Amino acid sequence: MSFNVFITRQIPDEGITLLRKWCQTVEVNPHDRPLTYDELLEKARGRDALITMLSDRIDDRLMHEIKSLKIVANYAVGYDNVDVKAATGRGIVVTNTPGVLTDSTADMAWALLFSVSRRIVEGDKITRAGKFVGWAPLFLLGGDMVGKTLGIIGAGRIGTAMAMRSRGWCMKVLYTTHTNKNAVLEEMLGAQKVDLETLLRTSDFISIHTPLTEKTKHLIGARELAMMKKTAYLINTARGAVIDEAALVEALRKKVIAGAGLDVYEEEPKLKPGLAALENAVLAPHLGSATVESRNKMSVMAAENIIAVLKKQRPPHCLNPEALIKRMA
């Protein structure tokens, strides 16, 4: 088919190979960095489809300029980088890659939880620096997990997977969700749906899995951090701006909470001043879906979404089916 696709970053070959079986032109950004907005705009001209990253701003101006654009296939579960409303108005389909990175992201949340609560990163630095002088009764004491309370903010696919992994530590699970009760968590774990304040005041570990929206931006700020136990840990593998990062820095500095494990940041890849210096924060460079298996599946899913639209079919993971109706009208 004479379709023209541009991929804004190098992705695994599985997806690219699949696209090349169906599309006349498939070009990949040759630079190992995000494109600037102007570079992206220039590269997008004349394209039928884009595979975009979370770092790519796909706004109304860009879609207005690219008259040929039929689909934006976001290489992520989240899509706060895409103006879906504007895309729908222009008959441009927007898709994402849900499901395939659920387990890897839940695993990452647990890795952060372990790392910060058992002070593994602190210990690693001490050992590598040659400052480990032997076992001591009070050296780098952390917190237990068995029998503690795990709070899940956003009990969707990833939040549910995170909670299910708590069974090995016999944890009590609380959760918040903007939808109906999570029957899986309640039936299998005896989890309780509670309001945010109850979750914050009661939980020993809090893991964020809610999408970033206007309502969830700075959902966790100074007020909410002050509600948490001084012994509590905060984990975020969702979106950085769900937390007021400056307020978190202050809370960690003043030991309002025990620690935080972060894989995402409010102004990614930049960190708020002071965050990098805090020993009670474990900081990862957005590795939630960074497994070979997950990224391979994401590349294939993005390609399949594009191929479906190019074949005038509904893509498997369409975020705005109204755009399909508008396009086919």
61 alpha carbon, distance to own chain's centre:
25
Three-class DSSP category at 58: strand
> Cis ω on the peptide bond leading into residue 269 (within 30° of 0)?
yes
Count the neighbouring beta carbons within 10 Å of the beta carbon of residue 236. Answer: 25
CB atoms within 10 A of CB 212: 18
The 10 Å Cβ neighbour count of residue 200 is 24
Q: Are strands 25-28 and 49-52 parallel, antiparallel or unpaired?
A: unpaired
Q: How many residues does the chain have?
A: 329
- For the question of residue 268 being annotated catalytic, the response is yes
The answer to whether residue 187 is catalytic is no
Select which of 122, 186, 268, 322 is catalytic.
Answer: 268
286 an active-site residue?
Answer: yes
Active-site residue (options: 20, 165, 201, 286): 286
Q: Which residue has the tokens 């860009």?
A: 62
Catalytic residue among 239, 245, 266, 304: 239
Q: Please, which residues have CB within 8 angstroms of residue 106's CB and are 6 or more apart in sequence?
A: 158, 161, 162, 164, 165
Catalytic residues: 239, 268, 286
